[in-house]
Structure 1
């Protein structure tokens, strides 16, 4: 790895700056880069196939100085380059990774042009040849794409290599150690350019093997390796059967770790495959690449050190240069040892102890190991400690996990671990103190800032997301006409996921018939409800609205609420009441919910009406709240995105002097009643159309975004006036008895006298003079008051407000006004 005899190549300042710019650009694209001395790695780099190179590490590598293996000296790269790791990028949701087709001559380049589509992302190597870059397909479609060398196609071998998972290429700006020429990108490599590249299909360049002959042949005891290709063609057993038996054999062969005889074990296994199973070189390369990524490649500290494709290729080349002391295909059924050479390293099939070794005094390291083994998906963490609560990813969303659940799992896991005691590796026996210490360390390992507000990305991602059972829908792309789903990922921190699949072609004819019936085909009310359903799907409460479905019993309100619940999912909604909102812990059930469904508008005698009103206005308006929780520390400054939908038979009596709630309400009347004519199977039929109702709602969201705001249906205007008068008698009094304008004025005693008469006639309590003044200012903030001299006294007058003479006459209040 560390070559000091590489010829030194001097580069000028301009070239060095150009390379640094390319390194920064590629790193920002989420590629992993490693330093090279010529074409040899300067650091141990296997771990970076699954771990992101940190910015600090990259900064340390840029000067080109590195410690020796023993750490005692520093050596300088004589030809300092950087390489880019190809294949999948498990730490990135934006960059799928790349597959590079590397042609080493014109014949290979012509093969690429004939079998692969053109790609805009290419580079010319330091030897003057071409490398063609393609996007890596999804891991689900192709879990592993190898890196075959010297591709064989149509019975002919080409100077063509594939750089897939575990491979690497020199980046643009690197200097070829032999020619001294620079690697040059044809077009600057950017994320936008990468997204224009075709997705690589392994079927474009299948690595074929010449058909084996069925003629029997005797073979010598000693087989010289350079005769390998010709001799295996004489084996009677078909190559497919030999490969099948070899794959079955590999299932029992554990992975290897550096420092444990790994080199000998890999050599032994390579010889078994090349000669014991008589397999072609390209098949051996592919099988070893798969074997090199077995789960038991993890070491005691959970480090993953798979063999790279380049290392495997070198191992095959070495084995082909050795003498095999056995008979060709002697590993075929029944399996037998392959000879003296391999007998020295035959422990390749010996079971390994994969229990982790932990240090009971190092709680932080143990906690990190526990998280990586028990709470990870594709090397991404799936456990979060946020706002004093554990959240675990289920594959679709994050659910709350109790302290006891985590602790129980930790006890069981630690009981399977090993530890060092008196120079012996023994089974670890967990204790309460150690488990408690690791639990505290686990909070530090998994902690997310309390300022983080779910749903959100833990890394970069589209701004608006709706999670479905089959993927993540990018809202903005959907609104622009695209509906491609993203894969579920633990980087999307959200407690919400719709319980059904996104099906763009689903419809809802029964639902449309229901709406036309209950709304008498009133398109305005249907459109308003549609927009409200869509508004509840998105992580958006900027409209500052509360929906009120009002009508007699058996009018369709309950069915509407049931379908909203089915669309959003029961775990995404909070079923509550107005009275509950006024309780100390009334906000706790709303945290992390998409919607709150209130089907009870009655308020108890001891309900705190002012607190209920305050919370309704604050939450719908996006204001932050302090949430008291039972048995857990309260959360401060929580901006909940929950939207309220009320279904009531009559208007709730909420005292609101300022009538501020009027601007928040979206009233949708249900005027028909079906009591005695109920269709008890309707909800079951509608549940079959949930995907279609969701599509209908998404179109409503598109309409809402296009309109910019909600508009109350005309059918609800009278109900809105009734609500205002019921919640704010002062507002009703002002509308009936007063005139508002800059030229108006009234003596305080006069308006107070009229107010008391009006309250007596309309069944309201007039209250004190100060109370009336406070409510008056809440209703009309712009009025002013002044003192005017009246003889020896000074009377108090309101400016901007006057009494309506016509109404005063009708109320018989004329005699009370001086």
Structure 2
């Protein structure tokens, strides 16, 4: 008869009290499992998950595996990274397959089954759970981060207010990392400033606004509740600007949705945990739900809590999305917002010239070499913005906004062209609507139906409807608005 010890999956369990047990050395949190003997009880999945956390996913007493907002995250030498459920499942199969479990006086190799792995996977979710209400970045031990925010880079993390570089630690849970080494006092970003000078025709107001918006995005705050819209001809540097800002905060911190998807049922899911939302071609199709798109933009820019519905995952209630919006386009987006609120939320920049046919293919690489200096430049802009406490737009922004307003709310444009408002003004319903239809014909607009016109008029002018006896007949009048003596248009 063959002895039991000849089987490779069996080990004699020595119960002698005089022989010390062999100690295992925990892993360093690098994601690679310790190959020393691991003894588990497969029927206790929560204990197994806790044991794996201690022996394979722990560094300096801090867990290096986390489950936050229905996603797994693992700490690697270069920071926290999202880990797919399939990857976690594969890791569990590997760890279980090299583990042992006691049966009488034997240690038998574990034979992982789908059910066993699923049970441990569910237990790991519970064991590594982080409160979904916490907004990253944050310290896992509850330590409050310094005011002004932090930025994770290749060689540590930067306390932005003091520009102090600290060593990276798993205690700092930050879902993204900028792919460059920070070098304090890097000097001026010469090539970047030369590029901006070409893009904006050396307009200092435009360059200053961009500098302050960069700093605003880095801060992670939303004190000013503004987005940035950059309009201009094709190949005029808009994408390069967005690319530099993306590299400055880390690609994992940036969402790039198509504008129309913001009105979809799951349109907010891709904006979670993102510091920047880049809409690189702001066009709306005829099928887009424009009202939902506008509503989403207004709520995100204002920092209002929103319910985030995710496909096949638990919805997240009342989430404040941290991303600031950067919108790029060759033309003004065709929003529909009778109140005109959406355009007032955007800061406006215009690029002046096209580089079509004379592009510099090495520009992206050249600017990447200046990222540490560009970071200091952006933080200088944040300092100016914080002291002033509001953004200042260049002189041509107002004309662009007026054009955008008129396209976004024709009803408001009609009021501006043809009406006066005030507490002593009044006009008949028929006369006002007739003037509106005539104005639409002159502007080549298709007029709204009467009830839709008055619906769109309500957020533009505060009016009060009443009936008045005219020639023995009760006719509807509006208080608070009247037609100009000489309507424009």
Q: State TM-score, norm by structure 1.
A: 0.54
Separation of aligned partners in 1, 2:18 and 2:201: 79
Separation of aligned partners in 1, 2:189 and 2:116: 57
Is 1:386 the counterpart of 2:61? The answer is no
CA-to-aligned-CA distance 1:74-122 (integer Å, 9 cap, x gap): xxxxxxxxxxxxxxxxxxxxxxxxxxxxxxxxxxxxxxxxxxxxxxxxx
What residue in structure 2 maps to residue 187 of structure 1? none
What displacement does 1:556 show? 2.1
What residue in structure 2 maps to residue 598 of structure 1? 279
Separation of aligned partners in 2, 1:699 and 1:551: 26
The count of corresponding residues between Structure 1 and Structure 2 is 462
Is 1:516 the counterpart of 2:201? The answer is no
What displacement does 1:660 show? 0.4
* Aligned with 2:105 (options 423, 428, 446): 423
Separation of aligned partners in 2, 1:433 and 1:776: 61
* Aligned with 2:43 (options 356, 361, 382): 361
Say whether the 8 Å CA contact 2:279–2:325 is kept in structure 1.
yes
Separation of aligned partners in 1, 2:184 and 2:477: 64
CA gap 1:418/1:547 in 2 versus in 1, 3 angstroms: same
What residue in structure 1 maps to residue 144 of structure 2? 461
With 482-491 and 601-610 compared, the bigger mean Cα shift is at: 482-491
CA-to-aligned-CA distance 1:299-340 (integer Å, 9 cap, x gap): 9xx8xxxxxxxxxxxxxxxxxxxxxxxxxxxxxxxxxxxxxx
CA-to-aligned-CA distance 1:613-651 (integer Å, 9 cap, x gap): 111111111122233333433333221111111121111
* Aligned with 1:795 (options 427, 450, 475): 475
Gaps of 5+ in 1: 1-258, 266-295, 303-352, 812-818
Say whether the 8 Å CA contact 2:244–2:368 is kept in structure 1.
yes
Say whether the 8 Å CA contact 2:24–2:37 is kept in structure 1.
no
Separation of aligned partners in 1, 2:337 and 2:79: 39
Separation of aligned partners in 2, 1:789 and 1:698: 65
Separation of aligned partners in 2, 1:432 and 1:518: 57
CA gap 1:534/1:260 in 2 versus in 1, 3 angstroms: farther
Is 1:499 the counterpart of 2:179? The answer is yes
Say whether the 8 Å CA contact 1:496–1:594 is kept in structure 2.
no
What residue in structure 2 maps to residue 338 of structure 1? none
Separation of aligned partners in 1, 2:79 and 2:418: 56
Separation of aligned partners in 2, 1:363 and 1:566: 41
After TM superposition, list the pairs within 5 Å mapping 1:562-641 onto structure 2.
562-641=243-322
What residue in structure 2 maps to residue 759 of structure 1? 440
CA-to-aligned-CA distance 1:754-797 (integer Å, 9 cap, x gap): 111111111212222111111111222x3322222324332222
Gaps of 5+ in 2: 1-16, 27-34
What displacement does 1:370 show? 0.8
Separation of aligned partners in 2, 1:594 and 1:391: 18
* Aligned with 2:336 (options 655, 674, 691): 655
Say whether the 8 Å CA contact 1:468–1:502 is kept in structure 2.
yes
Separation of aligned partners in 2, 1:405 and 1:420: 28
Bigger Cα Rg: 1
Separation of aligned partners in 1, 2:203 and 2:99: 68
User: Cα RMSD between the aligned structures?
Assistant: 2.3
What displacement does 1:732 show? 0.8
* Aligned with 2:168 (options 488, 499, 502): 488
Is 1:532 the counterpart of 2:217? The answer is no
Q: 2:477 is paired with a residue of what secondary structure? A: strand
Separation of aligned partners in 2, 1:450 and 1:570: 22
What displacement does 1:496 show? 1.7
CA gap 1:668/1:746 in 2 versus in 1, 3 angstroms: same
Is 1:726 the counterpart of 2:411? The answer is no
Separation of aligned partners in 1, 2:69 and 2:18: 44
What displacement does 1:599 show? 1.9
* Aligned with 2:116 (options 425, 430, 434): 434
CA gap 1:441/1:749 in 2 versus in 1, 3 angstroms: same
What displacement does 1:799 show? 2.0
Separation of aligned partners in 1, 2:363 and 2:24: 55
Is 1:399 the counterpart of 2:81? The answer is yes
What residue in structure 1 maps to residue 6 of structure 2? none
What displacement does 1:518 show? 2.2
Say whether the 8 Å CA contact 1:396–1:489 is kept in structure 2.
no
Say whether the 8 Å CA contact 1:356–1:418 is kept in structure 2.
yes
Q: 2:151 is paired with a residue of what secondary structure? A: strand
Say whether the 8 Å CA contact 1:470–1:501 is kept in structure 2.
yes
Is 1:548 the counterpart of 2:229? The answer is yes
Q: 2:67 is paired with a residue of what secondary structure? A: strand
CA-to-aligned-CA distance 1:494-520 (integer Å, 9 cap, x gap): 212211122122231011111122222
Q: 1:393 is paired with a residue of what secondary structure? A: strand
What residue in structure 1 maps to residue 348 of structure 2? 667
Is 1:738 the counterpart of 2:419? The answer is yes
Say whether the 8 Å CA contact 1:542–1:622 is kept in structure 2.
no
Is 1:471 the counterpart of 2:151? The answer is no
Is 1:778 the counterpart of 2:459? The answer is yes
Separation of aligned partners in 1, 2:97 and 2:361: 55
Separation of aligned partners in 1, 2:301 and 2:36: 54
CA gap 1:360/1:577 in 2 versus in 1, 3 angstroms: closer
